[in-house]
Structure formats: structure tokens, C-alpha cells
Chains A and B, each alone.
Chain A
């Protein structure tokens, strides 16, 4: 089996699994207990927190552990908006956001918020001119992801932070799920940041909300007051320590992997360029490539590759069961046929040269096989 759906989730590093297992054997205590073993578990929790902040260069930030980016996004959006309501009602959101941001912000309309979408360039980036036009005294919240999960486009986070300096009441939230551990970005101007461990070879069920000021946040559900009283519930220490471990390995090997995976994606783009009815989306990070087979359904391509034992996905796994057309690709002004026929290939740090080559051969094979239906 060749796994090429790593933007959906990754295989954990052996080291991360080993940390998870060891922690659950030897530090299974509640980090809130005041006995000696509880104190030791708490020390491990704090060391994990410190390590994650260091690895991401987030000096002065605090790290609230959550179950993953969906929860982090919900906490940031819901709690900050409730506090900001008295100062303004407008939320600006890119058209590219993941459903965990999009649907949370949309749900806040019921609380009286006005949601405006920042337009997208043909390259799949947030249009800074559009953002400038939309910014006014009523805006209290701006949310833009760091790296798009459909095309891999890297968003101009530092430039946006710079623009927002003139709007001190705006809270800037960034969903960095596809960026953490993959590329180095400057997040110093950001107020809150979400991430999920399982996207960088950690385990499912652990993530973080990184905040410049914990005071800007409130819990969205209540309990015993863990994690700065923002996210109650006995802390999942094993998965958290494994996340710290996975991020450490990912950051340490980042340059090396970036170079290798860039080779794969460039090779792939070159190999399919010029084939009839093939449309490549502009890229960004090397580990995501979006290809359309114009005239076919993305699902057909996924099935055809599946028959060759290669796993890819249509748009994003979180939305692929929904019938509607992908918003990111529509926002980039793609023809409906291009959007319908798109698949997402995503490499990981485990992808080998051999697998990358086999994928190219398989894509060429599928192209020949279904050539008759393509436009």
C-alpha cells in the first residue's frame, strides 16, 4: 500500500508511539494530583509545553493542550468573539478555511456577528487588497489559515499581522494545522494559533491552542480547571508528550525533508504537465499537490488509484463525503469541471523515492485508462 493522503493524517513516528506507550506505563497519573507521582507527571506536561513553544519559536506565548485543531479553533473563535462582542460585530475570514473554522464562524452569526469573506487570488492565497478594503472599525476578529489543506498554498500570515497592527482591537487567529512541523513561518504577530499532532506524525487526540494571552480565552465547556481553566478534563499526557516528541523530530529534520519532498512534487508536476485534460493547481508547500482530471469525477480517480493500492483523497478528507463543490478551488476561480475532477496528493516524511515514482507511473496509467471520458 502506498499512502499519499498525509494531509488527512500521518503515520505516527515509532519514537512518538514509544513515548506514548512509556508515558502511559510510567506517568499515567493525573497531572492535577498533588502527590509525588502527580507532580512528576505535571513536570513532564510542563516540559512538553515548553518544548513545543521553543520548537515553534513562540516566545511569550502560552500553550493550551486540546484534543486537536478542531477543538482549538472552536475555543479560539467562540470564546474570543464572546469577549469582543462589545467592541464590534464584524468577523473577516478567508474563503479557504477548514470546516472547523468556517462552520464555527458561521455559527457565530446566530450570536449577532456579521461575517465577511476575504477574497482569494488565483494562486490560492488570501488577497491582501481585499482584506484592506474590508478592514474597518467594526472588525474584531480575522482568521486565516497558515497553509491551505487543499492546494498547499502558503498564506501571507506575517503581512496580514503587519496590516493588523493599525487595528489593535482585532484578534488574529491562524489555523496552522498544515504548517506546523512542515515549514518555518513567522507567527510573532498572531494572537492565537491551532495545531494537531497527527498531521506531523504524532497521535490523534492531541493538539494545542497557542495564545499570546491566555486571558483572551475562555472555556467553551466547564470542568475541573485544567489547562489554565481553558480546557478542562484529565490531560492526555501520553499523546501530548508524543506530540512534543513528533514535533521535535519534524523540526529537526525539516530542511532535509523539505528538500526531498520538493523533489517529489516537482518531478510529479513535470511528469503530468502537458497531458491532455490535466490541470495542476498552483502549489505552495511541497507536500501537497492538487491535480484535476477534467471531465472525470475526483472520486473516480481516487478509486482508480485505489485499485493500484495507492491512497489519495478528493478534496479534504473532512469534506470529501459532502457532495458540494470544494470552496477553496471555487474561490480560486476554477471551472466547475476542474473542481469536480480534482484529487489531492499529499506526501509525508515517510514517503520514499520508490513510492513517489510509482505514484507518477500510476497516474499516467489512470490517465490512459480513463482517457475516453476526459474532456
Chain B
């Protein structure tokens, strides 16, 4: 038995009626991009998509689609001739993988109403066959463990039963654009993935302070962007902001216990200006309520006061171990935990305030001309455009 198609079920986009075409076009584009290099053909219809497999491994294709937003689930499908024998053989093959003590149901869709077997005939034929040829497996039409789907079409019969859950949500690019604050830790890439689920396109911002932060820390953030781009099939532009001058000024001019709050405020001011410039409608970060001193409600209030932009915090109330689990699922965990110096670790105050007083922070900041330094930092942004596939082949000629 050879799987020759992958059936792709859409997520929430099926709730859309008026803009359906735009949503389907978006998901088609992302699937084609994600499956670049696989020998397949993508056919996205109004209510589902079929991926025809020529010489591609079905499980590798399904794995590649797992993080494409807008896909609810996928199934490997066998297409066969419109004969009873072909249906029987495939049904028996499927049943070979059923667990003992489980239940099944045969479901039939006759797109070709002229087909000589009626729905009940097919159910009866295949259901009886499986009951006779298996032990300890029963029929349950209400709540079966396995649903064997038989679709009768003009060009053949399509059968499948395995349903693999994907990320769901909405197709990339249908939900506007946001700017992700990417530190290189565990949380921020997960926050990015969560927002992308809703079809939001991302650009990312990262602050570095050479020579106090290492090259590897910046490389790590680039790798994270590569992973996110590869998994979702959507390019992410990374803006690397030179922060050294601001960092050392903050260190010099702001009292140690308030420097953290001011640092975050400056970063958010830069993020807002960049978001405006790149047409992003929100800022996203990986903040988690109470996780560290800068993420208490009081700190968030003092930091957030610099902007009117919506700051989205998809991980706000999650447990840390859930975030770790998600990072592992998204494949960013191993990269995130690589130990390099970043701006958070070097200039870390000894005792940051968990309840910074906004009036005091404002007073100290007013003594310094941060605005001109912010403008200078923005002018000197280095842009990294991810192309995971290309960077892998950088050594192609040598290797």
C-alpha cells in the first residue's frame, strides 16, 4: 500500500465566508513554500487541499506541514481504482494498524452519484470484511476510535483513516503584521509562534551591545529566526539594533536598581519606532507575569508607559514548564538554551526593583538625552533576512 496524496484540512479559515478566496490563496502560497524541494504538487480548493505525492515520503511531507498555520490536520490518503477489490485490500491494510479492543466506523462520501455501489453497500461490504478478518475489534458508529473514510470520485476512490493534528489557526499573512522582540531566550520565539498561529506576519527586533555581548548570541538569534521561518514557511526579517551606547549610558546615568526598568523602556521606545516604520500594528514579546523583576505587573506598567502601541503578550499567564514544552515542540528549545552572553546578563543589576516607581524613573531619564541616541541606533540597524534553506547550502561548493 502506497500513500499517494496528503489531505489537508483547514482550521478557522473555514469560518470565513466572504474572504475565503484570500485565505485559501494565502495557505496555498505558504504550503508551496514550505514544501519546496519535495516532489509534490499542491492543489488547494475552497474547503480542503490535496497534496499529490510523486516521489516524496508522506511522513516527511506531513512533518513539514505541522507548523504551517491555518492547517488543522492532515491525513495520508490512498487513491485507487474504482473496484471493490481495491477498496477491500486497502481497508484490510488500514485495519492491520488498529489497536486491539478498539472500534471503527466506515464513512462514505459519494461525489459521483452514479457509482454503482450505494453508501450503505460500501459500508456493509467493508464493515463486514473487517469484522470477519479481525479479532477484538467492534463497530461503533457514534464514537469510533478509527474512522475509515471512503470518497468515491470520478477519477478514483480515495481512502484514509489516520488524522494527524497540526497547529491550526489562520493562514500566514491574513492577520496583519507585528514586531516580535526577540531576546534569544526560551520564551520570545514561542510567543512569536503563538502570534503567527493567528495569521499574523512577523518581523523581529533584537538588541546587541558589542563587545559586551558575543557574536554567538547574535548568531543564536539568527538561528532562531531561521527555525521559525523554516517551520512556518514564512520569511521573517530580523532587525539587529546596536545598543552599546545606550546600554553604557544607562549603566552610567541611571541608578543600579532602576536601570533595568529604564533599559526596557528604551528598548520598547525603539521597538515602537521601528514598528511604525515597517507598518507593524502591534509589538509582541515573551513576557510572563511575575517570571522576573521586569515582568511584574508594576514593572510592565512602568515599561509600557512609553508607548500607545498594543503590546501583545501571548505567554502572559502560562506555566514555565508549559512554555518549555512548547519551545521543544517548535524546535527552538535547544538553540535557546545555548549559553552565550547577551545584553540581559552583562549589565544585570544586583537588585532590580520589582515595584519600580514611575515618577522616579521619569526623573532620572529626564537628565539624559536618550532621544538622539535612539535615533542613531535606529539608523544603524543591521537587517538579517532569513533564508534557512540557502544558509544550509552556503558550503555547497566545498562539501
Q: Which residues of A contact B (CB under 8 A)?
A: 19, 22-23, 34-36, 39, 43-44, 47-48, 51, 241, 244-245, 248
Complex Cα spacing A226 to B215, Å: 20
A19 CA / B394 CA spacing, docked (Å): 14
B219's partner among A19, A39, A47 (CB-CB below 8 A) is A39
Q: Tell me the chain B residues, 348-399 only, with Cβ under 8 Å from chain A.
A: 392, 394-395, 398-399
User: Would you call B214 an interface residue if the criterion is a C-beta within 8 Å of the partner chain's C-beta atoms?
Assistant: yes
B398 contacts A245, C-beta separation under 8 Å: yes
B215 pairs with A36, CB closer than 8 A: yes
Q: Are B399 and A244 in contact (CB under 8 A)?
A: yes
**11 A-B pairs, CB-CB below 8 angstroms?**
A19-B398, A23-B398, A34-B215, A39-B215, A47-B392, A47-B394, A47-B399, A241-B395, A244-B399, A245-B398, A248-B399
Near A by CB (< 8 A), chain B positions 217-231 give 219
B395–A47 CB distance below 8 A: yes
Q: Chain B 194-232, CB within 8 Å of chain A: the 1/0 string? A: 000000000000000000001110010000000000000
Are B398 and A39 interface neighbours, CB within 8 A?
no
Chain A residue with the shortest CB-CB distance to B219: A39
User: Which chain A residue lies CB-closest to B391?
Assistant: A43
Residue from the list B215, B219, B394, B399 in contact with A241, Cβ < 8 A? B399
Which of B214, B216, B394, B395 is the most central at the interface, judged by chain A CB atoms within 10 Å of its CB? B395
Q: How many Å lie between the Cα of A39 and that of B395 in the bound state? A: 14
A49 to chain B minimum Cβ distance, whole angstroms, is 10
Determine whether the beta carbon of A34 is less than 8 Å from that of B216. yes
Residues of B within 8 A of A35 (CB): 215
List A contacts of B216 (CB < 8 A).
34, 39
Alpha-carbon separation in the docked complex, A220 to B395 (Å): 32
**Residues of A with C-beta under 8 A to B219:** 39
- Which residues of B are at the interface with A, using a C-beta cutoff of 8 A? 214-216, 219, 392, 394-395, 398-399
Q: Which residues of B contact A43 (CB under 8 A)?
A: 394-395
Q: In the bound complex, how far is the Cα of B398 from the Cα of A35, in angstroms? A: 22
A234 to B301 Cα, complex, angstroms: 51
**Number of residue pairs across A and B with beta carbons under 8 Å?**
31
Tell me the smallest distance from the CB of B141 to a CB of chain A, in Å.
41
9 extra interchain contacts, Cβ-Cβ under 8 A, other than A19-B399, A35-B215, A245-B398? Answer: A36-B215, A39-B215, A39-B216, A39-B219, A43-B394, A47-B394, A48-B395, A241-B399, A248-B399
* Option from B214, B215, B394, B399 in Cβ contact (under 8 Å) with A245: B399
Contact of B398 among A34, A36, A241 (CB under 8 A): A241
In the assembled complex, which residues on chain B have CB atoms less than 8 Å from the CB atom of A48? 395, 399
Contacts of A19 in B (CB 8 A): 398-399
CB distance from B202 to the nearest CB of A (A): 25
Give the residues in chain A near B215, CB-CB below 8 Å: 34-36, 39
Query: With the chains together, A47 CA to B216 CA distance in Å?
Result: 17
User: Closest A-chain residue to B395, C-beta based?
Assistant: A47
- Given A39-B219, A47-B392: A22 and B398 interface contact (C-beta under 8 Å): yes
* Chain A residues whose C-beta falls within 8 Å of the C-beta of B395 in the assembled complex: 43-44, 47-48, 241
A47 contact set on B, CB distance < 8 A: 392, 394-395, 399
Instruction: Please report the C-alpha to C-alpha distance between residue A263 and residue B208 in the assembled complex, in whole angstroms.
Output: 62
Task: Chain B residues near A245: list those with CB within 8 A.
Answer: 398-399
Q: Contacts of B399 on A, CB cut-off 8 Å?
A: 19, 44, 47-48, 51, 241, 244-245, 248
Complex: A360 Cα to B395 Cα, angstroms: 43
Complex: how many Å from CA A241 to CA B394? 13
Cβ contact within 8 Å between B214 and A44: no
Min Cβ gap A236→B in Å is: 15
Taken together as a complex, chains A and B put the C-alpha atoms of A371 and B399 apart, in Å, by 50
* Complexed CA–CA distance, A244 and B399 (Å): 6
A246 to chain B, nearest CB (A): 10
| A331–B394 CA distance with the chains assembled, in angstroms | 49
Contact of A34 with B392 in the complex, beta carbons under 8 Å: no
A39-B398 Cα distance, complex, nearest whole Å? 17
CB distance from B226 to the nearest CB of A (A): 12
Q: Could you tell me the distance in whole angstroms from the C-beta of B60 to the nearest C-beta in chain A?
A: 11
A38 CB to nearest B CB, Å: 9
CB distance from B387 to the nearest CB of A (A): 15
Q: Which 6 A-B pairs have the closest CB atoms?
A: A47-B395, A244-B399, A19-B398, A51-B399, A44-B395, A245-B399
Measured between C-beta atoms, what is the minimum distance from A252 to chain B in Å? 12
Write the nearest CB–CB distance from A36 to chain B, whole angstroms: 6
What residue of chain A has the Cβ atom nearest to residue B340's Cβ?
A: A34
How near does chain A come to B391, taking the closest CB pair, in angstroms? 9
Alpha-carbon gap, A47 to B215, bound state (A): 19
Among residues of B, the one whose C-beta sits closest to the C-beta of A22 is B398
Rounded to whole Å, the gap between the CB of A258 and the closest CB of chain B is 22
Bound together, the chains give a CA A326 to CA B398 distance in angstroms of 40
Min C-beta distance of B395 to chain A, whole Å: 5
Closest B residue to A248 using CB positions: B399
How far apart sit A165 and B262, CA to CA, in the bound complex (Å)?
60
Q: How far is the CB of B345 from chain A (nearest CB, A)?
A: 15
Which residues of chain B have C-beta atoms less than 8 A from A34's C-beta? 214-216
Q: Smallest CB-CB separation from A247: which chain B residue?
A: B399
A23 to B214, CA, bound (A): 25
Complex CA–CA separation, A358 to B26 (angstroms):
65
A47 to B219, CA, bound (A): 15
| Docked CA distance A271–B394 (Å) | 49
Bound together, the chains give a CA A244 to CA B396 distance in angstroms of 11
- Residues of the B chain whose Cβ atoms lie less than 8 Å from the Cβ of A22: 398
Chain B min CB distance to A244 (Å): 5
Complex Cα gap A43–B216 (Å):
11
A162 to B16, CA, bound (A): 53
Chain B nearest CB, measured from A245 CB (Å): 6
Q: Which residues of A contact B392 (CB under 8 A)?
A: 47
Nearest Cβ on chain A to B272's Cβ, whole angstroms: 31
Complex: how many Å from CA A44 to CA B397? 11
CB distance from B284 to the nearest CB of A (A): 29
Q: Of residues B214, B392, B399, which shows the largest number of chain A Cβ atoms within 10 Å of its Cβ?
A: B399
Closest chain B residue to A50, Cβ basis: B392
Q: A96 CA to B399 CA in the complex, in Å? A: 34
- Cβ distance A31 to chain B, nearest Cβ, rounded Å: 13
CA distance A34 to B220 in the complex (A): 13
Residue of A nearest to B214 (CB): A34
Complex CA distance for A47 and B397, rounded to whole angstroms: 12
Chain B residues within an 8 Å CB radius of A241: 395, 398-399
CA separation between A69 and B54, bound complex, in Å? 40
Residue of B nearest to A45 (CB): B395
How close is B129's CB to chain A, nearest CB, in angstroms?
A: 34
Shortest distance between the CB of A360 and any CB in chain B (Å):
38
A35–B394 alpha-carbon span in the complex (Å): 19
Contacts of A44 in B (CB 8 A): 395, 398-399
Residues of chain B within 8 A of A39, CB atoms compared: 215-216, 219
Contacts of A51 in B (CB 8 A): 399
Query: How far is B214's CA from A248's CA once the two chains are assembled, in angstroms?
Result: 34
Chain B residue at minimum C-beta to C-beta distance from A23:
B398
Query: What separation, in Å, do the CA atoms of A44 and B399 have in the docked complex?
Result: 9
Please give the distance in Å from B213's CB to the nearest CB on chain A: 12
